[in-house]
Amino acid sequence: MRNKKVLVLCTGNSCRSIISEALINAKLDGVIAKSSGVKASGNINSNAKKVLILNGIWDEKYHSKTIDKIIDEDFDLIVTVCDDAKESCPTFAKPVKKIHIGFADPSGKEFDAFVDTYEKIEKVLLPEIKKAF
């Protein structure tokens, strides 16, 4: 895979999509990921940031943003990681492949739920992205 661009969509862009973005950027060579929320919270959940720091893949460039900030960019793949984002995924200017792999929202739960979400995203989502290309 070379120079493939992936957009990860979630509702709030505070947990699952940020973790996914960081994992894709850290673990998939030739793939650049961005994330967004269909109703972005504007904040990254502190436990999501903590799990990324503990795994050595946090980057200060990660931030919660709304879809209008990236809607005009070209992506090779759109990934929705929650049902709400799947149902309200916007239409992009150019046709783009979409896949949906939902993960439970760890917000409001103990830190272990974020570790579990991180591990599930790594084990389930990353192989699916590889298959998509």
Instruction: Please give the positions annotated as active site.
Output: 10, 82, 89
Q: Which two tokens stand for residue 126?
A: 């990353």
79, 125 in Cβ contact below 8 A? yes
DSSP one-letter code for 12: S
Q: Rounded CA gap, 46 and 29, in Å?
A: 27
